[in-house]
Amino acid sequence: MIPGLPQLKQKLLDEIYPRSCCSCGKDIREGDEHGLCWDCRADSVALGPPWCERCGQIVAGRIDHEFICSDCEENPPRYQRGRSLYHYEGGVREAIHALKYHRDFSVIPDLSRLLLAGLKTYFPESEGLVLVAVPLHRSRQRKRGFNQDAELIRGVRKLDPSLKTWAGLKRIKNTDTQTKLSKAARRENVRSAFAVKKNVKVPERILIIDDVMTTGATLDACARALKKAGGVEINTLTIARG
Ligand SMILES: [Zn+2]
Ligand SMILES: [Zn+2]
């Protein structure tokens, strides 16, 4: 088969700028591998049930009923369903690092493909679902030059242009400076870190996209702001949980 123009262009680019896997350094020559090779992707540990229906926290042992973890029982998150796809380790962790800290955009198509697969699996009724990035504070955005979540959403929409996105959420508090605070104080501080921009209409069904979920406080704070401004159904999807 004669390769099409995009493939030819990629082949040429590969000759000039050989790509390599961000995790193992292996040369990448395949069309559907970009910055993370298949081996490293396959090495990453996918998360799956049994887990908390609400936040997606993995539960040890067998569960044959709908389960809500004690964290969610005590402090119900504002989002309806939170799902993470991988443990934050191995190739997936390397790829997220490469993007965030080394501006390696070559991993975006690989990570976007994982996100889209997760979206189709856990949110199959994607009709009317609007993707929202966790916004960075102005000063952080200026320093980094890009928002990784917004870039990932752009990657997902390249694969499925029918998906919509919305950029009406903003970060009003810079929470970078809170490393000296206690865990509880940090949680409290992030609670009011987000707000919806003035005079914008919040979509009814939202899927917040983030690279990594740690405590879930940031996602909950986003969901809180969106709900307050009229969002009806807020869900979250992250590549990894660490
Ligand atoms: Zn690799
Ligand atoms: Zn939970």
CATH value at residue 207: 3.40.50
DSSP assignment string, the chain: ----HHHHHHHHHHHHS-EE-TTT--EE--TT-SSS-HHHHHHSPBP-SSB-TTT--B-SS---S----HHHHHS--SSSEEEEEEES-HHHHHHHHHHHHH--GGGHHHHHHHHHHHHHHH----TTEEEEEPPPPHHHHHHHSS-HHHHHHHHHHHH-TT-EE---EEE-S-GGGGTTS-HHHHHHHHHTSEEEPTT-PPPSEEEEEEEEESSSHHHHHHHHHHHHTT--EEEEEEEEE-
Look over the chain and give the mean of its residue pLDDT values, rounded to a whole number: 90
% of the chain residues with pLDDT over 90? 69
Is residue 145's pLDDT more than 50? yes
pLDDT of the residue at 5:
64
Place 157 in a pLDDT band, splitting at 50, 70 and 90: very high
| Bigger pLDDT: 18 vs 75 | 75
CA distances from 177 to 68, 73, 140, 180, 198 (A): 33, 30, 11, 8, 26
Which phi and psi (to 5°) does residue 45 adopt?
A: -90, 115
| Residue 15 placed within a domain | no
Question: Which residues surround the ion ligand 2 when the cut-off is CB under 5 Å?
Answer: 52, 54-55, 57, 69, 72
pLDDT tens digits along 181-238? 777 787 888 999 999 999 999 999 999 999 999 889 999 999 999 999 999 999 999 9
Quick one: what percent of the chain has pLDDT higher than 70? 90
33 or 152: which leads in pLDDT: 152
Whether 216 maps to a domain, the answer reads yes
**136 in any annotated domain:** yes
What range defines the domain where residue 124 resides?
20-241
Distance 37 CA to ligand 1 centre (A): 4
Is the pLDDT at 7 greater than 70? The verdict is no
3-state DSSP of 169-207: EEECCCHHHHCCCCHHHHHHHHHCCEEECCCCCCCCEEE
**47 lies in some domain:** yes
pLDDT at residue 158 greater than cutoff 80: yes
Burial class (CB in 10 A: 0-12, 13-18, 19+), 67: middle
Quote the ligand 2 centre to 69 CA distance (angstroms): 4
Cα 159 to ligand 1 centroid, rounded to whole Å: 22
pLDDT of residue 70: 93
Q: What is the pLDDT of residue 141?
A: 92
Is 11 within a domain?
A: no
Cα–ligand 2 centroid distance for 77 (angstroms): 8
- Assigned domain for 4 exists: no
CA of 26 to the centre of ligand 2 (A): 38
CA of 89 to the centre of ligand 1 (A): 13
Q: Is 10 domain-assigned? A: no
Cis upstream peptide for 50 (omega within 30°) = yes
The pLDDT of residue 65 is 84
Looking at all shown ligands, the one closest to residue 219's CA atom is 2
pLDDT at 1: 46
Tokens of 116: 């889209």
Q: Is residue 14 part of a domain?
A: no
- Give the dihedral sign, CA 197/201/204/210: negative
> What is this structure's pTM?
0.89
Ligand sitting nearest the alpha carbon of 24:
1
Nearest Cα to 203, choosing from 238, 225, 231, 167? 231
Tell me how many domains the chain contains: 1
